Amino acid sequence: MTLVLAILSLLFSLSLWAQEVTYTNATFKGAPLEHAHKLNEFFKDEGFIPLADSQFGIPSLGINQVYFADAGKFVMVKYGIEGEFPLKQIIETAEGYLVHDKVGDNRFFIYFRGINQEAVKLTLLRMQDKISKYSLPSVKSIFIPEARAQVDCGSPVLVQQMTDFANLSGTMVWNFAKNCVSGLGEGAWAASGGAIASGISSLWEAVKHPIDTIDKVGNAVENFTVGVANFTKGLINDPRGTLTKMGAKVGGAWDDMVDVVTNMSTDMKIQFICSFIGSLGVDAAIALFTAGAASGKIAVSLGLLAKRFSAVAKTMGLLSKLSVAARAKLGMSADKMKNFMEKLMHNKIPEGDLKHLDGLTTFDKDFSVKVVACYM
């Protein structure tokens, strides 16, 4: 340990008992963007991936950010807490470790799950030492949502791994899937009904036992990671069964979309997974993957998504029959395949264009692929 860290270690004390902590106000509030930006940069350097855009937070859970590492390991952050609690003291909860701190007059907590006591303390010491050294965010980075981490879905190694998904461990599946959930924004979901109500967020409205509440919110985050990993693995091994269960209440064109996805090649299924998850928005994704099946506003939105996919069923079928190399020769590179899938997910291709693109497959299959590639 360096001299700086040794000195900083005096700032933190460890409490191994459930100390009384009282919150008088813990309703959801926006994050102080400068500090949230610096915290994002710090945890990224520590090997974590942020779930939400800093300016939106995660209203459905009543928290501002989740940082994911390996399966079962994550950190939660919540700003704007009022009450009685010690600062810079690590408190052991039933499921993790909790520490309170403040930036200006804004008090917040950081909660560690699946991370041992010593690692928690060392992380906090590094944070104390480094966070002030990160540069301020630009105006662009504050007002334009952070981009999701990109996965090279055309990678032959990744495609082979996903083909052998039945043999992959839960940890390996999550290590792929977590890249798809990174930086989920609210923009896509806002267009289809707004934020999703959650029983979890209401726990903060009248907090009697905040430590228990924090563990319960942590349980919801853990259930979300399990749901995403199960969906990812299920879509490769049993796409029909996985999507049928998820869309049981969707109706409409969902069954047609299930047929389209079931017949996709492995590399297209991989891209579908990332594009689908990334299109939801953080609140909708948490609600969907925690419950395992769509209902309410989510079911309506997924029905519209299914309608768009059904409109290009022939095009998708044609693309699935071609190898990655064959598509590339016709101008449909992996990047263009990704753009096509994401534009479909985000409703950025007019309905008339979708029908026109699909109709071309009847006349000349190679030409229709070239047209799709040019359209992107």
Element (H, E) at 161: helix 156-163
DSSP 202-248: GGGTT-S-HHHHHHHHHHHHHHHHHHHHHHHHHHHH-HHHHHHHHTT
Average pLDDT over residues 25-52: 91
pLDDT tens per residue across span 313-372: 888 888 888 888 888 888 888 888 888 888 887 778 887 887 787 777 776 777 777 777
Give the model's pLDDT for residue 337: 83
Give the model's pLDDT for residue 5: 46
**Percent of the chain surpassing pLDDT 90:** 26
pLDDT tens per residue across span 215-236: 999 998 888 888 888 888 888 8
Distance CA 331, CA 347 (A): 23
Rama region for 82: left / alpha / beta (φ>0; ψ in -120 to 50; rest): beta
Residue 192 pLDDT > 50: no
In eight-state DSSP terms, residue 192 is T
Q: Domain segments of the chain: what residues?
A: 3-143, 156-375
Average pLDDT over residues 142-162: 46
Averaging pLDDT over each range in 109-118, 237-246, 276-285, which range is the top one?
Answer: 109-118
Average pLDDT over residues 13-22: 60
Distance CA 112, CA 185 (A): 23
pLDDT band at 253 (very low <50, low <70, confident <90, very high): confident
Helix 313-321 vs helix 365-375: angle between axes, to the nearest 10 degrees?
110
Tell me how crowded residue 312 is: count the other CB atoms within 10 A of its CB: 22
In degrees rounded to 5, what are phi and psi of residue 281? 90, 150
In eight-state DSSP terms, residue 74 is E
Name residue 96's beta-bridge partners.
113
Helix 351-360 vs helix 313-321: angle between axes, to the nearest 10 degrees?
50
The better pLDDT of the pair 286, 76 is held by 76
The better pLDDT of the pair 242, 285 is held by 242
Range of lowest pLDDT (38-42, 52-56, 194-198):
194-198
Give the model's pLDDT for residue 172: 64
pLDDT band at 13 (very low <50, low <70, confident <90, very high): low
Cα atoms found within 13 Å of the Cα of residue 293, Cβ hemisphere only: 9
pLDDT band at 7 (very low <50, low <70, confident <90, very high): very low
The 3 state secondary structure assigned to 8-22 is HHHHCEEECCCCCCE
